[in-house]
Amino acid sequence: MLHTINKSPFQNSALENCLRIARDGDVILLLEDGVYATVAGTVKSSLIEQAAKRHMVYALEADLKARGLGNLVKDVRVASYGDFVDLVEKHPVHAWL
């Protein structure tokens, strides 16, 4: 199962809602404003630190670059658009809009 989150963790509980439901081994992909959750040293970093113990966590590269983000939580993988397509092909997807 692939879960996608595109909302900022500072203004929306989509990521928390997703992590409550997601099963161990499910893949989490952060994109658009969702990528802010993957930055290290914020008040929301612990969400992804915890999630990375149970899930593969990806952040979309183009969205990271657009927002000037580089210092990510350890274990977050950076995904290209091509990786995104591969993930979508491999898993059923739920978008936490």
Give contact residues for other proteins (rule: CB under 8 A).
6-8, 10-11, 32-33, 36, 39-43, 45, 61-63, 65-71
CB of residue 38 to other proteins, shortest distance in Å? 12
- Label residue 56 exposed, middle or buried (CB < 10 Å: 0-12, 13-18, 19+): middle
Nearer to other proteins, 25 or 41 (CB): 41
Nearer to other proteins, 69 or 93 (CB): 69
Nearest residue to 44 via CA among 19, 63, 79, 78: 19
Nearer to other proteins, 26 or 96 (CB): 96
Non-local (6+) Cβ contacts of 76 within 8 A are 38, 48, 52, 57, 58, 59
CB of residue 43 to other proteins, shortest distance in Å? 4
CB of residue 41 to other proteins, shortest distance in Å? 4
